[in-house]
Amino acid sequence: MTEIAVVRGGPLTTVQDLGRPGWAHIGVPPSGALDREALVFGNRIVGNDPSAAGLECTLAGPSLRFGTRALVALTGAESNATVSGRPAEANALVRVAAGEVLELRGCVRGVRAYICIRGGIDAEPVLGSRSTDLMSGLGPPPLRDGDTLRIGTEPRASPDAQAAPPAPRPEVPVLRVVRGPRDDWFAPGALDALCASTWRVDPASNRIGLRLSGPTLERLDRGELLSEGLVTGAIQVPPSGQPIVLLNDHPTTGGYPVLAAVHTADVTLAAQLGPRSRVRFAVSK
């Protein structure tokens, strides 16, 4: 049986691959693994294509009983994982025998852990992706206790147990931002204020956006911005003056002005920031 029984789904465990870019013009968010680097690394360890679907675990992980033997990699946040009680090493090839239970606990050093299984998670693709989009309701629903997951077909490539893990993440990451596109909707000094402050992550953050609290970013009184397209990483500022960094399940258009946008490569750093952790920004070219 190439199936996995979900003993416990965990607080929020979703199927994620590299998402469904290319559909923003009809209102479909990009979705996909928030810590893309961690998913790609896990897929590499088990020999999957980088775009194979894995599980994204939020704050804590699930408990999974394997119906078949499997090769697994655990990446992203550390989760004190065990296989039938034995500690399972992170960022390494983990062998699970048929009937064994893989269990992830609370995440440390980040809030999103990834489970990549050789063959990938086989769910019905929607617009070319198996990712769960929590805003639009596309893709498979989050894991619930008692669900069954299917493992996909064996890839051709061999596992790569020697793959070097991504560099450890700093405790207070500095995200590089590009100014604009609507920096002219803000009081002079708003961008400096963004970059001079240490921001705290609000617990209301989710896959749609990282909500930050800190000094108020002053907007100019220019009325309402007409709705326009939004990139992942856009730093949107609602009337409260408290910024929101848009993550993968963000709406494709919006009417709050965007002061600056986080570099594509740094959005993965934002993905590992949990409630009350801190973050800084720096302007880059």
Partner 1 sequence: MSGIALRRAGDRGAMLDLADNAAAVRVARELSAAGLFLDVVPGHRTVLVTWKEEPPREEILTLATTALAGSDDRAPAQSVEIPVHYGGPDLDDVAQMCGVSPEEAVARHLAADYTVAFLGFAPGFGYLLGGDPRLTVPRLAAPRTHVPGGTVAIAGPYSGVYPRDSPGGWRLIGATDATLFDAAQTPPALLAAGDTVRFVRA
**Binding region for partner 1 (CB under 8 A):** 21-28, 126-127, 135-138, 176, 178-182, 226-234, 251-254, 258, 261-265, 284
Nearest approach in angstroms of CB 125 to partner 1 is: 9
Query: Taking a C-beta distance cutoff of 8 angstroms, is the pair 272, 77 a contact?
Result: yes
Q: Shortest approach of partner 1 to residue 186 CB, angstroms?
A: 14
What contacts 278, CB < 8 A, 6 or more positions away? 171, 172, 198, 199, 200, 201
Question: CB-wise, 26 or 167, nearer to partner 1?
Answer: 26
Q: Please tell me whether residue 45 adopts helix, strand or coil conformation.
A: helix
| Shortest distance (Å) from residue 172 CB to partner 1 | 22
What are the helix (H) ranges across 169-259? 190-196
- Separation of alpha carbons 227 and 194, rounded Å: 23
- Closest distance to partner 1 from the beta carbon of 5 (Å): 28
User: Distance (Å, rounded) from C-alpha 86 to C-alpha 88?
Assistant: 6
One-letter amino acid at 200 equals R
98-135 burial, b at 16+ Cβ within 10 Å, e below that, comes to eebbbbbeebeebbbbbbbbbbbbbbeebbebbbbbbb
User: Closest distance between partner 1 and the C-beta of residue 170, in Å?
Assistant: 20
Cβ 159 to partner 1 shortest distance, Å: 27
Instruction: Name the residue nearer to partner 1 (CB basis): 16 or 31.
Output: 31
At closest approach, how far in Å is the CB of 188 from partner 1?
A: 18
Kindly write down the DSSP assignment for every residue of 101-115, as one continuous string: EEE--B-EEEEEEEE
The kind and range of the H/E element at 270 are helix 267-271
End-to-end CA distance of the chain: 52
C-alpha–C-alpha distance, residues 98 and 106, integer Å: 25
For the chain, helix, strand, coil in percent to 5 are: 10, 35, 55
- Nearer to partner 1 among residue 183 and residue 218 (C-beta): 183
